[in-house]
Amino acid sequence: MNVVEIIGYTGSVLVAVSLMMKNIWWLRRINLIGGATFALYGLLLKAYPVFALNGFIALVDIYYLFEMKRKKEYFSLVPVNSEHNNLFSRFIDFYQADIRKFFPDFKKENLYKGHTYFILRDIIPVGLINFEELSDTDVKIGLDYAIPDYRDLKNARFAFFAEDGLFKKRGIKKLIVENPVDAHQKYLKKLGFTRQTDNRNLFYKEIDK
């Protein structure tokens, strides 16, 4: 197998992988790389229709990625005040299996303890957060879930760190999370959380003033 064939196979695999992704942001990014790679393959073979088609696909991906980056979204928080909240019950029933991938010990009844909020983006319920106050300045986050199409850190950045989010207006200074799932730990690190030295599943984050 020569270099040109490797480029062609790589582009094909990347395009195929992108089409299996649920998150539209990642679909566009991987599809862009795959399309550009396959366009290069067509150019090297002088197969200009292949080059033109995949070059066009790459340009379309760039356009939509730019639009997604530029788009101004409206974030808001809605408290879950009752276990009889119909939207809340349906949300949990629909996403329960996915929630347990990131929170293996998840139990619906635990969400009635402490505080539970929906995160809305343009009035769409895209996430659910539950936390309890350990002191006047510290909270422990028991659930921080985002539905597959909206896992881009924006939910947490709004809820955790924005002036009109959950914590700054309450005077909270420290966020604590305990979670054994590797994927969620990587997510916490991207948000700036630090791992506790004596407990690898415990993370904390000081909120800047």
Mean pLDDT within 67-72: 79
Mean pLDDT within 4-29: 85
Q: Is the pTM of this model over 0.85?
A: no
Instruction: Say which residue the tokens 């002088």 belong to.
Output: 46
Share of the chain above pLDDT 90, in %: 52
Contact by Cβ (8 Å): 118, 128:
yes
> Which tokens sit at 51?
């080059």
Q: How far apart are the first and last CA of the chain?
A: 57
pLDDT tens digits, one per residue of 17-44 = 888 887 777 889 899 999 999 899 888 9
pLDDT tens digits, one per residue of 95-148 = 999 999 999 999 888 888 889 999 999 889 999 999 999 998 999 999 999 998
Q: What are phi and psi of 194, to 5 degrees?
A: -115, 140
Whether residue 59 is predicted with pLDDT greater than 90 in this model: the reply is yes
> Which tokens sit at 144?
């921080």
pLDDT category of residue 15 using cuts at 50, 70 and 90: confident
